[in-house]
């Protein structure tokens, strides 16, 4: 009984260690689907990692078979429910890891197929341009026209904003002028308003400077995009 218990514990420890190692390799293997410029065929590292995972799965299957035989050799009464649950769990994890390997292989292959498709499309476009220089020149002119149109659209947007700001400043000037007239009329009657009028005039001049600076900036941006 003691030797049987020792053998069971050792085999379970090996099984758990191999499960942990398998999960570590899964993390490494999953990164092959996200590498930039994935190669058209599996790299040496990718093949070795997949082979190591396959080897671990086979070793774990052998260990599970040994655990099963060891459990079957025990008397029915001494074969605890805990050992049976442990064995069932090892089988479940092995099955999950087999599915995970299949999923990762499909994911890597899908990424490789997409990369190959894009590469073939680029090659076809380059070959078409090489064999049809007139078409290549026409495409270039269309691209340049699109860039110019985008520049014009940006300039129009900047100018529209400038006009909107100008209109807003105009309304503010009218409001300030109306207020200024009212205050000027009352300044002679109420002491201390002269200093207030001076501050309002200073704000008006500052608004004019800000508006002039903004218009100059918009004009420079328009020249830049032209």
Question: What pLDDT shows up at residue 57?
Answer: 97
Dist. CA 205–CA 199, nearest whole Å = 10
Question: What pLDDT shows up at residue 63?
Answer: 96
Q: Contact, 43 vs 118, CB < 8 A?
A: no
Query: What does each C-alpha distance from 123 to 66, 119, 130, 139, 176 come to in angstroms?
Result: 55, 6, 10, 16, 66
| Domain boundary assignment for the chain | 2-131, 137-225
Question: What pLDDT shows up at residue 62?
Answer: 96
Question: What pLDDT shows up at residue 95?
Answer: 97
Average pLDDT per consecutive 10 residues, the chain (226 residues; last block may be shorter): 70 96 96 86 93 97 94 68 91 97 94 81 61 62 71 70 72 74 62 63 74 75 66
Question: What pLDDT shows up at residue 1?
Answer: 47
Return the sign of the alpha-carbon dihedral for residues 137, 138, 141, 143: negative
Question: What pLDDT shows up at residue 38?
Answer: 85
Dist. CA 169–CA 200, nearest whole Å = 15
Question: What pLDDT shows up at residue 225?
Answer: 66
Dist. CA 105–CA 99, nearest whole Å = 10
């Amino acid at each position: 009984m003691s030797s049987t218990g020792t053998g069971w514990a050792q085999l379970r420890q090996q099984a758990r260690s191999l499960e942990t190692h398998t999960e570590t390799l899964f993390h490494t293997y999953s990164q092959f689907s996200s590498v930039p410029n994935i190669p058209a065929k599996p790299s040496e590292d990718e093949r070795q990692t997949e082979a190591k995972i396959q080897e671990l799965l086979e070793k774990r299957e052998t260990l599970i078979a040994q655990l099963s035989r060891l459990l079957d050799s025990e008397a029915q009464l001494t074969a605890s429910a805990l050992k049976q649950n442990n064995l069932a769990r090892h089988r479940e994890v092995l099955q999950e890891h087999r599915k995970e390997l299949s999923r990762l292989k499909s994911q890597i292959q899908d990424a490789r197929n997409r990369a190959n498709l894009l590469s073939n499309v680029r090659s076809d476009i380059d070959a078409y341009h090489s064999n049809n220089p007139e078409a290549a020149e026409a495409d270039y002119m269309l691209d340049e026209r699109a860039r110019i149109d985008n520049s014009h659209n940006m300039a129009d947007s900047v100018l529209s904003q400038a006009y909107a700001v100008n209109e807003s400043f105009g309304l503010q000037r009218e409001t300030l002028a109306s207020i200024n007239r009212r205050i000027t009329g009352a300044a002679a009657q109420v002491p201390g308003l002269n200093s207030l009028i001076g501050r309002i005039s200073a704000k008006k001049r500052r608004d004019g400077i800000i508006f002039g600076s903004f218009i100059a900036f918009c004009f420079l941006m328009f020249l830049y995009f032209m």
